[in-house]
């Protein structure tokens, strides 16, 4: 029996062949290719004040947790992205989550104190559309004061 010794080209999660040395950079850019679907996106603030509390690499670490849970692809995909200052530094390290209700417009505070198990619970709640009630940052409409 003849074996095929030719290595398969490396592909990213979207099925595109990738540039050698990269995990996801496509060799051939298709500007009209759809982006990868996500059920929810978590923005981890990695700007100066939040990074001092929780580290600049928190988003990368959280991506690993998402991947371990199998939520990095498919219809329940949770995308994790870094952000610059979200204007809520006093609550550092801030995470903003855009997910279907009841976790829409969800902001979490003090995420630098969360351990892995806490994040797993949060990610499960996002996946299952169950309300996250702990560590929410309250929002309020402040009317403009007559100056």
State the nearest-atom distance from the C-beta of 31 to ligand FES, in Å: 32
Residue 18: strand pairing partners? 26
Give me 9's structure tokens: 């080209």
Residue 12 to residues 19, 22, 52, 53, 146, Cα–Cα distance (Å): 10, 9, 32, 32, 55
State the nearest-atom distance from the C-beta of 12 to ligand FES, in Å: 30
88 contributes a contact to ligand FES by CB under 6 A: yes
85 contributes a contact to ligand FES by CB under 6 A: yes
Distance between CA 29 and CA 111 in Å, rounded? 36
137 contributes a contact to ligand FES by CB under 6 A: no
The binder of ligand FES chosen from 40, 42, 50, 99 (CB under 6 A): 50
106 contributes a contact to ligand FES by CB under 6 A: no
Only one of the segments 32-40, 43-51, 126-134, 138-146 lies at the binding site for ligand FES (rule: CB under 6 A); that segment is: 43-51
The binder of ligand FES chosen from 49, 82, 112, 136 (CB under 6 A): 49
Closest CA to 134 of 143, 147, 113: 113
Distance between CA 84 and CA 59 in Å, rounded? 12
Please report, as ranges, the residues that interact with ligand FES according to CB under 6 A.
45, 47-50, 85-89, 92, 94
């Amino acid at each position: 029996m003849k074996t095929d010794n030719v290595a398969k080209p490396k592909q990213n999660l979207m099925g595109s062949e990738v540039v050698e040395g990269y995990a996801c950079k496509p060799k051939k850019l298709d500007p009209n290719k759809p982006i990868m679907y996500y059920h929810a996106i978590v923005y981890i603030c990695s700007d100066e004040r939040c990074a001092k509390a929780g580290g600049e690499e928190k988003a990368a670490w959280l991506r690993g947790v998402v991947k371990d849970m199998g939520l990095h692809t498919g219809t329940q995909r949770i995308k994790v992205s870094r952000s610059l200052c979200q204007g809520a530094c006093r609550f550092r390290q801030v995470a903003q989550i855009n997910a279907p209700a009841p976790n829409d417009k969800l902001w979490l505070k003090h995420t630098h104190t969360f351990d892995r198990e806490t994040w797993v619970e949060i990610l499960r709640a996002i996946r299952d559309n169950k309300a996250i009630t702990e560590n929410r940052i309250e929002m309020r409409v402040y009317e403009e004061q007559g100056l």
